[in-house]
């Protein structure tokens, strides 16, 4: 089985994915790390040198590679992965996949992301938390249609990592 964690950047997909993989004794894979390895370049460099369209095409290509695996994997997607290249349909139409939307409120996302925005190409240009909140709100409005297609939605606001992990496990039993 492949367990796919999706949601906005900063929602905890990688952190929770590693924990979940450990508990289930699955492999963990972050699609961004997979892309970095395959492309031999950071996500920021790919965006700068080749552009977002190139990145999204490669992201779709590598997602197809990963989900064709018969291994037990916990896969953390990038925030935009479900929204491009028919990726969400590939996920929801695969009987070997269980998908989870990790839903975090805009203020909490902004609080998490503001200090690490330099490492995130899509928000690195935003200089105030207010600008970031506006950006996230607009983005979530555009992306919520895709995120909401996940099999399960886990609201993570004000929950500990342990509580969220328990919520995920309940749906896997």
- Report d(CA 98, CA 83) in Å as an integer: 17
Helix (H) or strand (E) holding 126: none
Is 79 assigned a ligand-binding role in the annotation? yes
Residue length of the chain: 173
The response to whether 11 counts as a known ligand-binding position is yes
Query: According to the annotation, is 143 in a ligand binding site?
Result: yes
117 is in an annotated binding site: no
Contact between 2 and 96 under an 8 Å Cβ cutoff? The reply is yes
7 annotated among ligand-binding-site residues: no
Other Cβ atoms less than 10 A from the Cβ of 49: the count is: 9
Concatenated DSSP letters of 131-172: HHHHHHHHHHHHHHHHHTTSSEEEE-TT--HHHHHHHHHHHH
Asked if residue 22 belongs to a known ligand binding site, the reply is no
Is 80 marked within a binding site? no
Is 15 marked as a binding-site residue?
yes
Distance CA(141)–CA(153), nearest Å, equals 16
CA angle 134, 138, 142 (to 5 degrees): 165
10 is in an annotated binding site: yes
Mark the binding-site residues for Mg(2+), compressed into ranges: 14
Mark the binding-site residues, compressed into ranges: 10-15, 32, 56, 79, 120, 143
Mark the binding-site residues for substrate, compressed into ranges: 32, 56, 79, 143
Mark the binding-site residues for ATP, compressed into ranges: 10-15, 120
């Amino acid at each position: 089985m492949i367990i796919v964690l999706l949601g906005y950047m900063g929602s905890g997909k990688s952190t929770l994915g590693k924990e979940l993989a450990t508990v289930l004794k699955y492999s963990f894979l972050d699609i961004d790390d997979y892309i970095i390895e395959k492309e031999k370049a950071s996500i920021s460099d790919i965006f700068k040198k080749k552009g977002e369209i190139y990145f999204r095409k490669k992201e779709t290509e590598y997602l197809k590679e990963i989900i064709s695996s018969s291994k037990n994997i916990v896969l953390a997607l990038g925030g935009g992965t479900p929204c491009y290249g028919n990726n969400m349909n590939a996920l929801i139409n695969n009987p070997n996949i269980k998908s989870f939307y990790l839903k975090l409120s805009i203020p909490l996302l902004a609080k998490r992301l503001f200090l690490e925005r330099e490492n995130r190409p899509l928000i690195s240009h935003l200089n105030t938390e207010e600008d970031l909140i506006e950006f996230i709100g607009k983005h979530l409005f555009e992306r919520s249609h895709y995120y909401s297609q996940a099999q399960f939605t886990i609201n993570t606001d004000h929950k500990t990592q342990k509580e969220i992990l328990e919520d995920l496990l309940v749906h896997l039993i």
